């Protein structure tokens, strides 16, 4: 999964390197791979794609893109042209499709499993003593993801990996004949001779004049479009102001404590040192060594050869412990005794109880602030809910913004020049503080008329808000004078490319008709014939001026026949002079 | 990477790709290409293109 590779790529130079390789392969491999099952069109509004009931919004996809592209140093436009944007989107869609398929089949990833998966990503970075929460937050910041997004993504990828794992393990190995054919196919070598015609070298008879540039501008106008933008105000009910007014009395806190004493009981916990082994016999050997006085960690090492199965100390809370383990761990009060190996779906547990902390009741003084915090939150949210109803009534009654603000405490966030990507003209993410709601904000804001206010929305964090569109700047185009120089450079380059293509096409026709020869052309045009021996279908360094994207075409041509090939910054007339297949005996040494 | 592993991986990928392709079709996977083009497709280079190698794509 590309997402997986990318995420982990942050932390591992090796994987990062792998990703770059993957991208290069992807960039050029893309043109050859078909995207099966995807239709275009038919997705409405600001969503870029839909799979089953799931949609991928432009804002969320744009974030994925912005997270990925800086690492490989290409712009969104270049990425779109290279087809990488579509490939990335397709990968996201594959992820969704696999997730739905996994769900259909009945693969569900529990929150526990997701938590373990997240831990396996975080733990190696945090180390033994690192603060895991902090590391998680750093990871999220670095990735530009929210925690729910990250968790959902890990869940999706875990389910998908299970499914793809099951699919790919059902494959029979390839036959010897097939390997031989494939080896021959992959390792064929060819020698070529070519005459290069670089676009840049083509001499134009005349540069485009003002009139030609203006015509080009009209034809390419869409390329200079400045998308519609809107000035939007997001007014959130100000809970800070409310919190200051709400209070809970000491008597009320005491009453809640007395009424709900069970909630403040701390259960018995036992600190348990444990090892989890795959085989029962190993578990018994480890238990025997530990009973004989050997440290558990050492015992695990002696039996299995390494310490992987040693888990270390963990606090078990009685009610939260798995039933199989609970009956063993919480039986009796033998501290330091090696408990009999116990089987769970994880394997055979060998455990030693190190410490017992008896159940206790938390005193009122200790939990008072906790109860108060909770009560304040409940009271504030009740009031906020009431205010949201008032706000709704005011909006329905046609109240002006001023009237609304006089009755409901609102905190205003202004987004000037908001585009459908959630960014402004400079590419700044205006909705950075509202990432969870960015998609809904954009969708709502672009569905309103100028001076219109939306109905009350509930944000993902529970707060209530309304959106007001104060101005709409319609789609415009950069004026001709601003883009003239850029346009001229581009037009000259494309004129040269077009005329160069026409020249090469006419030379190719002459060659086809037998009116000239390869060497006669070289002499006539004073262009040298370049020899490139030993070309292979897949090369780490494609020799100049050939390019990886068209290298394969050389292997689809007849020997000694001149044909036209796209090369770096131009075209070439090229002919295969020699083809060779490798000796079959080498096949095992291939890499 | 040994050739055997290479062939094996290729077949596995092929199987997974076919499966995902079928599922995408079943779930009616759709791309809003108009929106993508509108947002990211603004560049001169995309306009000037002449296919001299028909059949390659």
Q: Which helix (H) or strand (E) holds B57?
A: none
> What pLDDT does B42 receive?
58
Provide the pLDDT for residue A11: 37
Residue A65 to chain B, least CA–CA distance (Å): 11
> Concatenated DSSP letters for A293-344?
T--HHHHHHHHHSSSTTEEEEEEEETTTS-HHHHHHHTSS--TTPBPPPEEE
CA distances from A527 to A498, A519, A551 (A): 20, 10, 22
Check CB contact of B43 with chain A, cutoff 8 Å: yes
pLDDT of A458 reads 87
B54 to chain A, closest Cα gap in Å: 11
CB contact residues (below 8 A), chain B span 13-32, against chain A: 13, 15-32
> In angstroms, rounded to a whole number, what is the distance separating the alpha carbons of residues A48 and A61?
8
> What confidence score (pLDDT) does residue A506 get?
93
Residue B51 has pLDDT above 60, yes or no: no
Q: Tell which residue, A498, A444, A497, has the closest CA to residue A466.
A: A444
Task: Output the tens digit of pLDDT for each of chain A's 591 residues.
Answer: 333 433 333 333 333 333 333 343 333 333 333 334 455 555 666 788 988 888 888 888 888 888 777 777 677 877 887 788 888 898 888 888 888 888 888 877 777 888 888 888 778 777 766 777 777 887 777 776 777 778 877 887 888 888 888 877 766 666 777 778 778 888 889 999 999 999 988 888 888 888 888 888 888 888 788 889 999 999 998 877 777 788 888 898 999 888 887 778 888 889 999 998 988 999 999 999 999 999 999 999 999 888 888 988 888 887 777 778 888 888 888 788 899 898 887 889 999 999 998 888 888 888 888 888 888 888 888 888 888 888 888 888 888 888 888 888 888 899 999 998 889 988 899 998 898 889 889 999 999 999 888 888 888 887 889 999 999 999 899 899 998 888 898 889 888 998 999 999 999 999 999 999 989 999 999 999 999 999 988 888 889 899 888 888 898 888 888 999 989 889 999 999 999 988 764 544 443
User: What pLDDT sits at residue A472?
Assistant: 94
DSSP annotation string for A204-231: PSS---HHHHHHHHHHTGGGGEE--EEE
Cα separation of A350 and A342, whole Å? 7
Q: Between A and B, how many CB-CB pairs are < 8 A?
A: 176
Report the greatest alpha carbon distance in chain A: 107
Residues 6+ apart with CB under 8 A from A192: A531, A532, A535, A554, A574, A575, A576, A577
pLDDT value of residue A16: 37
From A570's Cα to the closest Cα of chain B, the distance in A is: 12
Residue A172: the pLDDT is: 64
Among B10, B25, B39, B56, the residue to mutate for chain A (most A Cβ within 10 A):
B39
Alpha-carbon A94 to chain mean position: 12
B34 in reach of chain A (CB within 8 A): yes
Query: What does the block give as tokens for A367?
Result: 């939990």
The pLDDT value given to residue A197 = 93
pLDDT of B1 over the 70 cut: no
Pick left, alpha or beta for residue A569 (phi over 0 → left; psi -120 to 50 → alpha; otherwise beta): left
Q: What's the count of helices (H) and strands (E) in chain B, helices before strands?
A: 2, 1
**A236 touches A441 (CB < 8 A):** no
- pLDDT at residue A33, as a whole number: 35
Of B18, B24, B42, the CB nearest to A223: B42
- Residue A175, judged by CB atoms within 10 A of its CB (0-12, 13-18, 19+), counts as exposed
pLDDT band, very low/low/confident/very high, at B15 (cuts 50, 70, 90): confident
Residue A520's pLDDT is 92
Joined together, the tokens standing for residue A103 give 């769900």
- Cβ separation B25–A37 shorter than 8 A: yes
């Amino acid at each position: 999964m590309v997402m997986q590779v990318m995420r982990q790529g942050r932390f591992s130079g090796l994987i990062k390197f792998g990703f770059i390789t993957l991208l290069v392969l992807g960039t050029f491999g893309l043109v050859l791979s078909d995207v099966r099952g995807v239709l275009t069109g038919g997705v409405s509004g600001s969503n870029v794609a839909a799979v089953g009931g799931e949609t991928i919004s432009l804002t969320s996809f744009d974030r994925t893109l912005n997270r990925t592209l800086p690492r490989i140093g290409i712009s969104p436009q270049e990425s779109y042209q290279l087809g990488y944007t579509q490939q990335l989107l397709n990968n996201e869609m594959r992820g969704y499709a696999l997730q739905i398929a996994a769900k259909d089949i009945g693969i569900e990833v529990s929150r526990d499993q997701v938590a373990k998966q997240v831990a396996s990503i975080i733990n190696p970075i945090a180390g033994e003593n690192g603060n895991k929460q902090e590391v998680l937050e750093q990871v999220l910041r670095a990735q530009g993801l929210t925690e729910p997004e990250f968790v959902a993504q890990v869940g999706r990828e875990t389910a998908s990996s299970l499914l793809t794992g099951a699919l790919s393990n059902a494959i029979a190995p390839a036959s010897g004949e097939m390997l031989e054919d494939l080896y021959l196919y992959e390792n064929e070598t060819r020698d070529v001779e070519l005459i290069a015609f670089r676009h840049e070298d083509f001499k134009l008879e005349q540069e485009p004049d003002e009139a030609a540039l203006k015509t080009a501008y009209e034809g390419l106008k869409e390329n200079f479009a400045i998308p519609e933008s809107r000035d939007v105000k997001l007014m959130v009910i100000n809970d800070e102001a409310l919190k200051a007014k709400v209070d809970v009395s000491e008597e009320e806190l005491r009453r809640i404590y007395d009424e709900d004493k069970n909630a403040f009981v701390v259960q018995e916990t036992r600190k348990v040192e444990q090892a989890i082994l795959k085989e029962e016999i190993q578990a018994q050997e480890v238990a025997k060594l530990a009973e004989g006085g050997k440290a558990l960690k050492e015992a695990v090492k002696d039996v299995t050869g390494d310490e992987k199965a040693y888990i270390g100390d963990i606090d078990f809370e009685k009610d939260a412990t798995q039933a199989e383990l609970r009956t063993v761990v919480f039986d009796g009060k033998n501290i330091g005794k090696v408990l009999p190996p116990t089987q769970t779906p994880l394997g055979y547990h060998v455990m030693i109880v190190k410490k017992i902390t008896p159940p206790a009741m938390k005193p009122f003084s200790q939990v008072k602030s906790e109860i108060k915090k909770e009560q304040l939150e409940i009271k504030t949210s009740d009031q906020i809910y009431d205010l949201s109803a008032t706000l709704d009534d005011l909006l329905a009654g046609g109240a002006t913004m001023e009237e609304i603000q006089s009755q409901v405490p609102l905190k205003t966030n202004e987004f000037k020049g908001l585009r459908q990507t959630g960014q402004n003209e400079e590419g700044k993410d205006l909705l950075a503080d509202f990432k969870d709601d960015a998609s809904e904000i954009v969708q709502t804001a672009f569905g309103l008329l100028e001076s219109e206010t939306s109905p009350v929305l509930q944000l993902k964090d529970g707060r209530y808000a309304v959106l007001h569109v104060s101005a709409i700047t319609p789609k415009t185009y950069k004026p001709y004078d601003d883009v003239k120089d850029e346009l001229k450079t581009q037009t000259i380059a494309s004129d040269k490319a077009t005329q160069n293509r026409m020249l090469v096409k006419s030379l190719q026709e002459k060659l086809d008709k037998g009116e000239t020869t390869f060497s006669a052309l070289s002499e006539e045009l004073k262009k040298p014939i370049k020899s490139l021996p030993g070309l292979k279908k897949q090369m780490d360094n494609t020799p100049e001026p050939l390019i990886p994207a068209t290298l394969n075409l050389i292997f689809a041509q007849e020997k000694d026949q001149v044909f036209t090939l796209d090369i770096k910054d131009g075209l070439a007339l090229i002919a295969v002079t020699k083809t060779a297949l490798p000796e079959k005996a080498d096949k095992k040494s291939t890499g | 990477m040994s050739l055997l592993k290479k062939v094996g991986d290729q077949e596995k990928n092929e199987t997974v790709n076919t499966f995902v392709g079928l599922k995408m079709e079943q779930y009616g996977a759709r791309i809003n290409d108009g929106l993508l083009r509108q947002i990211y497709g603004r560049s001169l280079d995309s306009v000037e293109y002449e296919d001299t190698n028909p059949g390659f794509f």
